[in-house]
């Protein structure tokens, strides 16, 4: 008889059942010895890849899944090893050996988040309860990331966040079992503001359109604060309903509002549609206050930006990573991904791949799959060779700090993937903030939970 959660009552009930005369071998498994949930048995370890496979972010989810499969291949010693060859942790070569993790072959299960908190949690729960996943990772929105992170905290497994950009994920909703490699709204703003100042000047009036949910708000708050610090004025912030598909009514008043910059705090489909509307209304051909009217998209997703076609040309934004980076790590990753799938990876794929390697390395270093052991290694980990330069997993909030890319829609793309060009790599020091920064305040990591 196995006790997944050997709470007092569980034991009593189990005892009663055994007492009722059901004959069975009574074996206490490694679980209770190991002292943590879903301790891997036998020769393999199971990871849970929880990505959107239906709904608007399905393509992003599919790209994440490709990256995970690649990471699993590399961990198991197949393929060319990708970034495993460049990965440096705390100044020395990473502990990964290409024989799985801690000698156990890496297997995985997949699920569909549908980009809904409920469905994402259901899917993650089934991975934990049914498939015995020891770690959950993935996702393409902050709502889902926060929801699944909370679940993993309760269940006692590690959560390695996928694409989530809201300040809250490592702010007021941070959890001891959750880790985020992706950057956030504050960092986007801090990286963008100096570039915007340089390109468009100090004296600018900005009009914000903001998706009316938590990510939109934190993004808007961040970018408004950062640009105002550079002398810009925020003329107006208009919240747009999430379900909006036609932004014409929100874009139409912009030109006569006295503003000369439009900031679109939108992501994914919202961003494609609002940007298309803005360009259609001729905003970019106009002069206001004697300056060219400009549009800014704080968070770019290359995959989605393709939907906006030529409209992205010349528009500034930020991104976590881009395949055109020329450091060895990025090149190695693009090569192994591109060879396998025939096209370059997205930033979502990159962050997911990196998260998987980081997890594997932490387990290898800690010598255990115990979430608390892994968390201990990840906290304060300094690593490099993962495409973003020297990076640190800050212990206070489990957020990665690294350089941020400021990008611009390319004027003369040479291929369908060649949409963005990196304008500036904003150094880490510029985007760093104190753990108790007001935009991130109110959260509590709590204690690491091993689930048993």
Partner 1 sequence: MDAILLQILNGLDKGSAYALIALGLTLIFGTLGVVNFAHGALFMIGAFCAVTLQKILTISSVSIDPEKKDFLGNPMEVKTPYVESWFGEATGQLIINWSVPLAILFAIPVMLAVGYIMERGLIKHFYKRPHADQILVTFGLAIVIQEIVKHYYGANPIPTPAPDALRGSFDFGVLLGFDPNAVIYPLWRLVYFAFSALVIGGVFAFLQFTTFGMVVRAGMADRETVGLLGINIDRRFTLTFGIAAAVAGLAGVMYTPINSPNYHMGMDFLVLSFVVVVVGGMGSLPGAVLAGFLLGILESFAAMNEVKSFFEAIYLPSIDQIIIYLVAIIVLLTRPRGLMGRRGVMEE
Partner 2 sequence: MLGLNKKDTGLFIFVICVTALAPFIMNPFPADSAMAQFNAGYPDLMQRFVIFGIFAIGFNILFGLTGYLSFGHAAFLGAGSYAAVWMFKLLSYNIVPAIILSVIVAGLFSVIIGFISLRRSGIYFSILTLAFAQMSFAMAYSVLTPLTNGETGLQVYNDDPQWLKGDGPDATHFFGLEMRSTFELDLGAWSFSFNVGYYFCAVLMLVAFYLSMRIFRSPFGLMLRAIKTNQTRLNYTGLNSRPYTLAAFVISGMYAGLAGGLMASMDPLAGAERMQWTASGEVVLMTILGGAGTLLGPLLGAGFIKYFENIFSKINESVLHGWFGFLPDGIENGLIWVAEHFVGSGWHLTLGLLFMLIVIFLPGGLMEGATRIRDRFSGDKNKKDTEGKYAPAGE
The footprint of partner 2 (CB under 8 A) covers 1-5, 7, 9-10, 13-14, 17, 22, 24-25, 27, 53-54, 58, 61-62, 107-112, 116-119, 121-123, 125-127, 129-130, 141-143, 146-147, 150-151, 154, 168, 172-173, 212-215, 239, 241-243, 442, 444, 446
Q: Using the minimum distance from each CB to partner 2, give the nearer residue, 49 or 321.
A: 49
Q: Which does 293 bind (CB under 5 to 8 A by kind): partner 1, partner 2, none?
A: none
Compute the least distance from the CB of residue 271 to partner 1, in Å. Answer: 10
Should residue 410 be labelled a site residue for partner 1 when binding is judged by CB under 8 A?
no
Eight-class DSSP state of 322: -
**What are the CA-CA distances from residue 83 to residues 71, 86, 136, 366, 409 (Å)?**
9, 5, 21, 20, 27
Stretch near partner 1 under the rule CB under 8 A, chosen from 80-88, 303-311, 355-363, 440-448:
303-311
Is the distance from CB of 356 to CB of 47 less than 8 angstroms?
yes
Residue 97 has a CB neighbour count (10 Å cut-off) of 14
Among 339, 382, 430, 447, binds partner 1 (CB under 8 A): 339
Q: Using the minimum distance from each CB to partner 1, give the nearer residue, 396 or 417.
A: 417
Structure tokens at 428: 């880490």
Should residue 415 be labelled a site residue for partner 1 when binding is judged by CB under 8 A?
yes
Strands 294-299 and 404-409: unpaired
Compute the least distance from the CB of residue 181 to partner 2, in Å. Answer: 20
Compute the least distance from the CB of residue 442 to partner 2, in Å. Answer: 8
Should residue 81 be labelled a site residue for partner 1 when binding is judged by CB under 8 A?
no
Please report how many Cα atoms fall inside a 13 Å half-sphere around the Cα of residue 163, on the Cβ side.
31
Should residue 59 be labelled a site residue for partner 1 when binding is judged by CB under 8 A?
yes
Q: Which does 323 bind (CB under 5 to 8 A by kind): partner 2, partner 1, none?
A: partner 1
Binding footprint of partner 1, residue count (CB under 8 A): 54
Compute the least distance from the CB of residue 157 to partner 2, in Å. Answer: 13
Is the distance from CB of 417 to CB of 343 less than 8 angstroms?
yes
| Subset of 124-183 contacting partner 1 (CB under 8 A) | none
In angstroms, the CA 224 to CA 12 distance is 58
How far is residue 200 CA from its own chain's centroid?
30
Stretch near partner 1 under the rule CB under 8 A, chosen from 79-87, 183-191, 195-203, 245-253:
245-253
Compute the least distance from the CB of residue 445 to partner 1, in Å. Answer: 33
Backbone dihedral angles phi then psi of residue 306, each to the nearest 5 degrees: -55, -35
Residue 233 has a CB neighbour count (10 Å cut-off) of 15
Q: Using the minimum distance from each CB to partner 1, give the nearer residue, 294 or 397.
A: 294
Should residue 235 be labelled a site residue for partner 1 when binding is judged by CB under 8 A?
no
Q: Which does 395 bind (CB under 5 to 8 A by kind): partner 2, partner 1, none?
A: none
Q: Which does 415 bind (CB under 5 to 8 A by kind): partner 1, partner 2, none?
A: partner 1
CA 183, 398, 169: angle at the middle one, nearest 5?
60
Among 248, 313, 390, 394, binds partner 1 (CB under 8 A): 248
Q: Using the minimum distance from each CB to partner 2, give the nearer residue, 373 or 451.
A: 451
Compute the least distance from the CB of residue 292 to partner 2, in Å. Answer: 33
In angstroms, the CA 293 to CA 289 distance is 9
Among 83, 272, 386, 407, binds partner 1 (CB under 8 A): 272
Should residue 13 be labelled a site residue for partner 1 when binding is judged by CB under 8 A?
no
Residue 253 has a CB neighbour count (10 Å cut-off) of 12
Eight-class DSSP state of 291: E
In angstroms, the CA 360 to CA 356 distance is 6
Is the distance from CB of 381 to CB of 362 less than 8 angstroms?
yes
Among 6, 150, 338, 427, binds partner 1 (CB under 8 A): 338
Strands 88-89 and 44-51: unpaired
**What are the CA-CA distances from residue 414 to residues 33, 300, 420 (Å)?**
58, 19, 11
How far is residue 219 CA from its own chain's centroid?
15
How far is residue 285 CA from its own chain's centroid?
35
In angstroms, the CA 159 to CA 145 distance is 9
Eight-class DSSP state of 310: G
Query: What are the residues binding partner 1 (CB under 8 A)?
Result: 54-60, 62, 212, 236, 238-241, 243, 245-246, 248-250, 252-253, 255-256, 269, 272-273, 276-277, 280-282, 285-286, 303-304, 306-311, 323-324, 334-335, 338-339, 343-344, 414-415, 417-418
């Amino acid at each position: 008889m196995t006790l997944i959660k050997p709470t007092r009552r569980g034991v009593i009930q189990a005892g009663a059942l055994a007492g009722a005369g059901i004959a069975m071998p009574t074996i206490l498994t490694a679980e209770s010895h190991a002292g943590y949930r879903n301790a891997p048995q036998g020769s393999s370890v199971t990871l849970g890849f929880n990505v959107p496979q239906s709904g608007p972010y399905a393509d992003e989810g599919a790209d994440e899944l490709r990256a995970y499969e690649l990471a699993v291949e590399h961990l198991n010693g197949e393929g060319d090893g990708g970034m495993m060859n460049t990965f440096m942790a705390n100044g020395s070569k990473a502990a990964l050996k290409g024989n799985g993790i801690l000698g156990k072959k890496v297997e995985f299960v997949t699920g569909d988040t549908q980009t809904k908190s409920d469905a994402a949690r259901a899917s993650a729960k089934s991975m934990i309860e049914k498939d015995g996943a020891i770690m959950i990772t993935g996702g393409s929105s902050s709502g889902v990331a926060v929801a699944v992170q909370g679940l993993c905290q309760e269940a006692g497994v590690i959560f390695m966040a996928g694409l989530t950009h809201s300040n809250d994920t490592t702010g007021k909703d941070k959890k001891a079992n959750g880790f985020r490699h992706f950057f956030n709204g504050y960092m986007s703003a801090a990286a963008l503001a100096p570039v915007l100042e340089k390109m468009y000047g100090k004296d600018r009036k900005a009009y914000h359109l903001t998706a009316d949910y938590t990510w939109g708000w934190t993004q808007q708050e961040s970018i408004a604060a950062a640009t105002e610090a550079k002398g810009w004025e925020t003329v107006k912030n208009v919240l747009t309903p999430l379900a909006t598909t036609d932004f014409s009514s929100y874009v139409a008043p912009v030109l006569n509002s006295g503003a000369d910059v439009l900031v679109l705090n939108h992501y994914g489909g919202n961003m494609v549609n609002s940007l298309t509307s803005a360009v259609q209304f001729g905003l970019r051909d106009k002069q206001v206050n004697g300056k060219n009217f400009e549009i800014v998209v704080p968070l770019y997703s290359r995959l989605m930006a393709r939907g906006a076609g030529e409209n992205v040309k010349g528009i500034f934004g930020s991104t976590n990573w881009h395949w055109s980076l020329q450091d060895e790590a990025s090149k190695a990753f693009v090569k192994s991904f591109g060879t396998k799938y025939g096209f370059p990876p997205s930033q979502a794929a990159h962050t997911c791949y990196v998260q998987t390697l980081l997890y594997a390395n932490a387990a290898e270093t800690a010598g255990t799959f115990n979430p608390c052991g892994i968390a201990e290694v990840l906290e304060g980990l300094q690593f490099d060779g993962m495409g973003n330069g020297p990076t640190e997993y800050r212990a206070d909030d489990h957020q990665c700090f690294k350089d941020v890319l400021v990008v611009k829609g390319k004027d003369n793309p040479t291929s369908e993937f060649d949409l963005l060009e990196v304008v500036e790599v904003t150094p880490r020091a510029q985007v760093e903030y104190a753990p108790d920064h007001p935009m991130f305040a109110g959260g509590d990591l709590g204690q690491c939970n091993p689930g048993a």
